[in-house]
Structure 1
Amino acid sequence: MDLISAIKQDIWIPFMEAYRDYDEEKLKSIHTEDILRINIDNNQIRYGAPYLNEFAAFLPRMKQNGDKVGIAFVILTTAFNNTKEIAYQTGYYQFQMQSMEEEAISPRGYGYFHVGLRKEKDVWKIFLDSDKKADLNTAQFKGGNTVYELEN
């Protein structure tokens, strides 16, 4: 399997599945224990288990409210170090939601992200996650780039 496909299988597909399935543990499992999270819009840095636990806790709340959530990704750039065990990707994400009153899940917002990835025991994990809001629409999001999304 090539490196890009391996990252897709280890990071992006489980990330989308975790949202779809409200799976807190799967969401946590794609991150390293020492994850560094930077929210640019809020000038905030978080890290480690406290961040992961808080981040993943939104999924059961959404399920309890009867809301469906989803996320899709566009990969813009990928770079690797010379040993091919650290990668850096940039791209966009699309957050999706459907409340109990709505008929279908729909986009609710977009962001621009940077992630640092590293192999741990032959599995890619996110060790750095940084993002900020992006002013996009669905056409711009899907605009000819590498789009990762789950089938509904």
Structure 2
Amino acid sequence: MKYNKTFLLCLFLFIGSSTFSQNEDLLKAINHDLWANFSKAFETLDYQLFSDLHCENLTRVSGDSHKIKNKTEYIEVYKTYWQDKSLKQIISFRFLERICGTEKASERGIYKLTRNPNTANEKSYYGKFHVILKKEESVWKILVDYDSSEGNSINEESYQNAYDINDFESFNK
């Protein structure tokens, strides 16, 4: 009987550690495929890269403007706005929840968009987002994207209270 308990304990530990490893690998892939390129697109004003991060049948919901857009409508805004190459901005993400499978994921978090970083005119904007991701041709893309400033109640404190993008342990419970 003692042998069976030891075996079960080892099996449980092995399964738990392999599940943690698999989840961490999935989150790292999402960070690589999606979030790193999302940030790069914002910094380089590359609407084509930004467009490539979204599924063709994207549903984009803005809680602040109460609008729902398809991919074409959503990307057109960035294509127009990012023509001004003097625009300087950075965007970063922290997370409240990251749930992922091998083909789909749901991620909720806080973003911080900073315009004119490291200047006297620096200004940051915050919002809460929820994205549904889908793996297409081995690459993670955004299928559904919702965000809102929640009446401008999302702020630096909200951002700092969320988990770092590379904090994988917090999402393996």
TM-score range, shorter chain: 0.7 to 0.9
Does 1:94 find its partner at 2:112? yes
Q: Which has the higher helix share?
A: 2
Please report the RMSD computed on the Cα atoms of aligned residues, expressed in angstroms: 2.2
Amino acid at match of 1:23: D
State the Cα distance separating 1:138 from its structure 2 match.
2.7
Asked whether the 8 Å contact 2:96–2:162 carries over to 1, the reply is: no
Give the structure-1-normalised TM-score.
Answer: 0.82
State the Cα distance separating 1:53 from its structure 2 match.
2.2
| Larger CA Rg, structure 1 vs 2 | 2
Q: Cα distance 1:130–1:53, how it changes in 2: closer, same or farther (>3 A)?
A: same
> 2 CA distance for matches of 1:57 and 1:9?
26
Asked whether the 8 Å contact 1:36–1:128 carries over to 2, the reply is: yes
Does 1:28 find its partner at 2:51? yes
Asked whether the 8 Å contact 1:76–1:146 carries over to 2, the reply is: no
Q: Which has the higher strand share?
A: 1
Q: Cα distance 1:140–1:39, how it changes in 2: closer, same or farther (>3 A)?
A: closer
Q: Cα distance 1:23–1:43, how it changes in 2: closer, same or farther (>3 A)?
A: same
Alignment of 1:1-150 (within 5 A): 2-61=25-84, 63=85, 66-81=86-101, 84-98=102-116, 103=119, 106-134=122-150, 135-143=153-161, 145-147=163-165
Consecutive unaligned residues of structure 2, counting only runs of 5 or more, are 1-23, 167-173
Asked whether the 8 Å contact 1:34–1:49 carries over to 2, the reply is: no
Q: Which has the higher contact order (CA 8 A, sep 6+)?
A: 1
Give the structure-2-normalised TM-score.
Answer: 0.73
Asked whether the 8 Å contact 1:68–1:105 carries over to 2, the reply is: no
Runs of 4+ in 1 over 4 A off after TM superposition: none
Consecutive unaligned residues of structure 1, counting only runs of 5 or more, are none
Residues 30-68 of structure 1: CA deviation (Å, up to 9, x unaligned)? 11111100011221100122322223432223x2xx230
Q: Cα distance 1:88–1:105, how it changes in 2: closer, same or farther (>3 A)?
A: farther
